Each structure stands twice: as C-alpha cells, then as structure tokens.
C-alpha cells in the first residue's frame, strides 16, 4: 500500500552547518530541538524530491510508502518516512508518476540506511547511495540552451 506523504515539522540541517559549527558546540535555536550534526563536509541542498520508498520495516515486514527528501547531497539524502525502517537495511527509492524523474533506463535507486531519529509523525532517516547516483543532478539538472 502506498501512503501519501504528510508534512511534518523537523529541524533540517543547513547545507553548510557541519563546517560552520563544531559538533561539540550546543545549538541555540528557539525551537529547543537539537539538529542532527554530521562531521561530513559534503554540501547539502534542501530539496523535496518525491519517491516511493520500499524496504523492510522494523517489524521485518516489507513496506512501500510515498516519501520526500528533506535534503540531498551527491552521495545521499535525508528522508521523511511514516514507517520505521529496519536499522542498517537497504532502501529502494522508485520513481512515481508526478514525482521526481530518474535518468533514462533507471526505475529505482538503491540506498543504505545510515541513521534514523524520530520526527513528529514518523522517522527522519539518512541514507547513502549504493550506486552512481547524484541526487543533486536530479534536482538541479545542468542548463543546456
């Protein structure tokens, strides 16, 4: 069953936050929520790409749900899911009608779950690509006149 994605409140990490603020320094945000910190210095872009996520739930059952990205980078992304995925599992992102277009000849992208944390109505997860995919090129294709 594919469930529609719902908007939820999260504190996404800014693209340059990892290099601007050392990870041992506390954040002074008005919301009181502690943002996810990473020592990775790869730039991230806040882009909402829509996919059907397929994987194993923490219960061991297969799930499929409509999801969107919170931010993307060359090697991975953060996603919002309603279903709690199994830790350290693979996740497949499939193209859906009206969603993000994948490169010609590609119907799905394979990712490895790196981390997860609770969000208002589900789970915020981080995943890295297991293939030669660059989500930034999907979100921001090169200009060709």
Q: Which CATH number fits the domain that encloses residue 87? A: 2.40.10.220
Q: How many domains does the chain have?
A: 1
| 5 within domain boundaries | no
pLDDT at residue 40, rounded to an integer: 59
Higher pLDDT, 29 or 111: 111
Mean pLDDT for all residues in the chain: 77
Average the pLDDT over 54-77 and give the result.
93
Q: Quick check: is 64 in a domain?
A: yes
Task: Specify the residue for token string 């594919």.
Answer: 2
Identify which has the larger pLDDT, 101 or 60.
60
Structure tokens at 77: 């992304």
Measured distance CA(36)–CA(126) in Å, rounded: 10
User: Do the domain assignments include residue 145?
Assistant: no
- Domain range enclosing 65: 42-139
Is residue 104 a part of any domain in this protein?
Answer: yes
Distance between CA atoms of residues 90 and 111, nearest Å:
6
Q: Which helix (H) or strand (E) is 135 found in, with range? A: helix 135-139
Mean pLDDT within 47-63: 94
User: In this predicted model, what pLDDT tens digit does every residue of 81-140 receive, in sequence order?
Assistant: 999 999 999 999 998 888 888 878 888 999 999 999 999 889 999 999 998 877 877 777
**Where is 20: in which H helix or E strand?**
helix 17-20
Question: In which band, very low, low, confident or very high, does the pLDDT at 18 lie, cut at 50, 70 and 90?
Answer: very low
> Which pLDDT score is estimated for 142?
75
48: pLDDT confidence band, cut at 50, 70 and 90? confident
């Amino acid at each position: 069953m594919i469930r529609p994605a719902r908007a939820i409140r999260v504190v996404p990490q800014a693209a340059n936050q990892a290099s601007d603020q050392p990870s041992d320094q506390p954040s002074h945000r008005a919301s009181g929520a502690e943002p996810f910190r990473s020592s990775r210095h790869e730039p991230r872009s806040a882009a909402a790409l829509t996919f059907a996520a397929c994987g194993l739930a923490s219960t061991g059952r297969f799930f499929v749900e409509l999801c969107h990205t919170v931010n993307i980078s060359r090697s991975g992304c953060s996603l919002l899911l309603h279903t709690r995925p199994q830790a350290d599992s693979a996740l497949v992102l499939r193209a859906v009608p009206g969603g993000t277009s994948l490169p010609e000849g590609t119907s799905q992208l394979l990712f490895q779950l790196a981390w997860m944390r609770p969000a208002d109505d589900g789970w915020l997860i981080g995943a890295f690509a297991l293939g030669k995919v660059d989500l930034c090129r999907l979100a921001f294709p090169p200009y060709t006149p």
